[in-house]
């Protein structure tokens, strides 16, 4: 464990190291959704299709100066939690901790998400806050972890779903994982509060007391991707003439194409405001009829299995011209940064994701296998527990995102990297112990 001065030093150094991709790119990274988050950060209109809380984060942590500050604070929050995790469970010195972080930066997708103007970074933040909360005994730190868990959960609807499922899993494994029932109870209360906060926010905005006014659209997009929608329409359009029946042979293979395409069946049947009654009718029918419910379950397991094997980066990290939402909202709210944005490697399509993806595809399984060998041979109970919790969290994230949103490598790789990170910590700790014994 490091002393206070050493802790401050390593947090300061590593927080900048995790921004390596940002410095390499010349600007923070963006996806098509980033423009919406920036837009809602600086106007009084709440979004219908996503939570507003990450937009609040952008507003206040950009300091009204630059989006560089946003990614800096993202990096700092994550690194502090990672440092607290290592200090709580291991006895690594300064150089050993630095080695873990450098290897994580080189061989995992972590820096790509630290540097994005997207709420995806709050999924690993949620994990580290939860695992520290479940085992920490310092009261003042518990309050900090609870706040971070709450905020990370309300930043993205997938985190709401993931933490809800995770709490039920903790109840099932609480004895095996040696977790206090009271901690699980508090975590359950945070989940409930998160759902209520999300619903109240939408109610205040005039969208009704719901976690997402447009959830029916995203679910239909998912049903289109999984094939359930086509099966249902083929078997029911003769009895119920839905508007979408006209396009049952043109359904997109990807959920995002269903939702965001300007010439797809969703857009052609009226878009966001015209379809809730029809879509909700189809959703209820498929969830209440055993045949389609079983099809949902089967497709959900298949999607989860496919999703959890995707370690790749690059989804949505395209270039954005002057007509794009991203360009418009950066130019409007951070005009002094537009030149840097225009000259970034991302905006010139000069980020070679293939090289990085080949590295991650090769190194991730090797790091995990080495760690598993150590865990199996030496059977450190506490390490086995939090490693199991980490794997469970990654699987739950894959399940919720693949089942209710998209099969998308971005949604998996944003959190998959925590397993190689924990593996590296265990490997370095094992080497430290062996060296100590030999000496």
Tens-place pLDDT, residues 71-85: 999 999 999 999 999
Question: Which residue in 318, 324, 308, 307 sits closest to 407, CA to CA?
Answer: 307
Residue 405: burial class (beta carbons within 10 Å; 0-12, 13-18, 19+):
buried
pLDDT tens-digit series, residues 290-338: 999 999 999 999 999 999 988 889 988 999 999 999 999 999 999 999 9
Instruction: Compute the radius of gyration of the chain from its Cα atoms.
Output: 22
pLDDT per position as a tens digit, 128-167: 999 999 987 777 889 999 999 999 999 999 999 999 999 9
CB 154 within 8 A of CB 56: no
Q: Which two tokens stand for residue 364?
A: 């991730």
**Do the Cβ atoms of 53 and 156 come closer than 8 Å?**
no
Helix axes 418-438, 94-107, angle to 10 degrees: 140
Could you tell me if 60 and 117 lie in one domain?
yes
Q: 288, 303, 331 — which closes off a domain?
A: 288
d(CA 217, CA 162): 20
Judgement on whether residues 28 and 127 belong to the same structural domain of the protein: yes
3-state secondary structure the chain: CCCHHHHHHHHHHHHHHCCHHHHHHCCCECCCCHHHHHHHHCCCCCCCCCCCHHHHHHHHHCCCCCHHHHHHHHHHHHHHHHHHHHHHHCCCCHHHHHHHHHHHHHHCCHHHHHCECCHHHHHHHHHHHHHHHHHCCCHHHHHHHHHHHHHHHHCCHHHHHHHHHHHHHHHHHCCCCCCCHHHHHHHHHHHHHHHHHHHHHHHHCCCCCCCCCCHHHHHHHHHHHHCHHHHHHHHHCCCCCCHHHHHCCCCCCCHHHHHHCCCCHHHHCCHHHCCHHHHHHHHHHHHHCHHHHHHHHHHHHHHHHHHCCCCCCCCCCCCCCCCCHHHHHHHHHCHHHHHHHHHCCHHHCCCCHHHHHHHHHHHHHHHHHHHHHHHHHHCCHHHHHHHHHHHHHHHHHHHHHHHHCCCCHHHHHHHHCHHHHHHHHHHHHHHHHHHHHHC
57: CB partners within 8 A, 6+ apart: 70, 119, 155
Is the separation of the CB atoms in 39 and 325 below 8 Å? Answer: yes
Task: Kindly state whether residue 271 falls inside one of the protein's structural domains.
Answer: yes
pLDDT at 121 over 60: yes
Domain of residue 227, residue span: 215-288
Co-location of 34 and 93 in the same domain: yes
**Tens of pLDDT along 412-437?**
999 999 999 999 999 999 998 887 76
Residue 202 shares a structural domain with residue 227: no
Answer yes or no: do 207 and 225 share one domain. no
Q: pLDDT grade, residue 438 (50/70/90)?
A: low
Torsions phi, psi of 253, nearest 5? -85, -10
pLDDT tens-digit series, residues 216-255: 888 888 889 899 999 999 999 988 888 898 888 889 888 8
Indicate the pLDDT class of residue 270, thresholds 50, 70 and 90: confident
How many domains does the chain divide into? 2
If we measure between CA atoms, which residue out of 302, 319, 430, 418 comes closest to residue 376? 430
Whole-number pLDDT of residue 139? 75
Say yes or no: 363 and 252 in one domain: no
Instruction: Report the 3 state secondary structure along 207-260.
Output: CCCCCCCCHHHHHHHHHHHHCHHHHHHHHHCCCCCCHHHHHCCCCCCCHHHHHH
Q: Are 223 and 278 in contact (CB under 8 A)?
A: no
End position of a domain, from candidates 288, 304, 336: 288
User: Does 339 score more than 80 pLDDT?
Assistant: yes
pLDDT of 284 above 80: yes
Picking from 271, 288, 305, the residue at the C-terminal end of a domain is 288
- Report the C-alpha gap between 415 and 329 in whole angstroms: 28
Residue at 57 is within a domain: yes
Inside any domain, residue 325: yes
Domain presence at residue 55: yes
Q: pLDDT averaged over the chain?
A: 91
Q: Is the pLDDT of residue 439 over 60?
A: no
Is there a contact between 74 and 128 (Cβ–Cβ < 8 Å)? no
| Same domain assignment for residues 232 and 335 | no
Task: Tell me if 301 is assigned to some domain.
Answer: no
Indicate if 169 and 220 belong to the same structural domain: no
Q: Which two tokens stand for residue 176?
A: 């095996």
Residue 173 lies in a domain: yes
Pair 17, 156 in one domain: yes
Q: Does residue 137 lie in a domain region?
A: yes
What local confidence, expressed as pLDDT, does residue 435 receive? 78
- Is the domain of 428 the same as that of 361? yes
Are both 197 and 252 inside the same structural domain?
Answer: no
Please, what's the largest Cα pairwise distance for the chain? 79
**Domain for residue 333, yes or no?**
yes
- Kindly tell me if the per-residue pLDDT of 40 is higher than 60: yes
- State how far the Cα of 97 lies from the Cα of 94, in Å rounded to an integer: 5
Looking at the fold, whether 58 and 118 belong to one and the same domain comes out as yes
Does residue 89 surpass a pLDDT of 60? yes
């Amino acid at each position: 464990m490091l002393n206070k001065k050493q802790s401050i030093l390593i947090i300061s150094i590593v927080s900048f190291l995790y921004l390596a991709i940002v410095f390499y790119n010349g600007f923070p990274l963006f996806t098509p959704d980033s423009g919406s988050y920036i837009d809602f950060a600086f106007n009084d209109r709440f979004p219908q299709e996503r939570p507003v809380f990450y937009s609040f984060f952008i507003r206040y942590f950009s300091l009204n100066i630059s989006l560089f500050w946003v990614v800096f604070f993202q990096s700092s929050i994550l690194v502090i939690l990672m440092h607290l995790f290592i200090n709580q469970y291991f006895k690594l010195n300064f150089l050993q901790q630095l080695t873990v972080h450098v290897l994580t930066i080189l061989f995992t997708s972590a820096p790509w998400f630290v540097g994005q103007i997207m709420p995806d970074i709050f999924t690993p933040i949620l994990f580290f806050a939860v695992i520290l909360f479940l085992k920490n005994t310092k009261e003042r730190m518990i309050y900090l972890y609870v706040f971070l868990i709450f905020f990370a959960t309300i930043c993205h609807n997938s985190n709401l779903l993931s933490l809800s499922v995770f709490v039920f899993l903790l109840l099932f494994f609480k004895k095996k994982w040696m977790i206090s029932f009271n901690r699980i109870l508090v975590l359950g209360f945070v989940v409930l509060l998160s759902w209520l906060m999300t619903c109240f926010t939408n109610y205040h905005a005039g969208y009704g007391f719901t976690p997402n006014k447009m959830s029916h659209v995203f679910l239909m997009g998912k049903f289109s991707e999984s094939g359930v929608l086509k099966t249902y329409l083929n078997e029911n359009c003769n009895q119920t003439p839905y508007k979408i029946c006209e396009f049952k042979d043109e359904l997109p293979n990807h959920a995002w194409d269903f939702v965001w395409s300007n010439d797809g069946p969703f857009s052609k049947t009226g878009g966001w405001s015209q379809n809730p009654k029809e879509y909700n009718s189809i959703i209820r029918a498929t969830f209440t009829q055993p045949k389609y419910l079983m099809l949902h379950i089967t497709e959900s397991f298949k999607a989860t299995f496919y999703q959890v094997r995707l370690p790749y980066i690059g989804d949505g990290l395209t270039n954005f011209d002057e007509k794009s939402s991203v360009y418009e909202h950066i130019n409007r709210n951070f005009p002094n940064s537009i030149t840097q944005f225009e000259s970034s490697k991302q905006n010139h399509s000069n980020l070679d994701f293939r090289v990085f993806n080949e590295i991650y595809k090769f190194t991730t399984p090797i790091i995990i296998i080495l760690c598993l060998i150590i865990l199996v041979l030496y059977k450190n109970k506490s390490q086995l527990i939090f490693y199991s919790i980490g794997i469970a969290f990654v699987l739950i994230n894959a399940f919720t995102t693949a089942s209710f949103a998209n099969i998308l490598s971005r949604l998996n790789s944003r959190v998959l990297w925590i397993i190689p990170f924990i593996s590296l910590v265990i490997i370095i700790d094992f080497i430290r112990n062996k060296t100590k014994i030999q000496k």
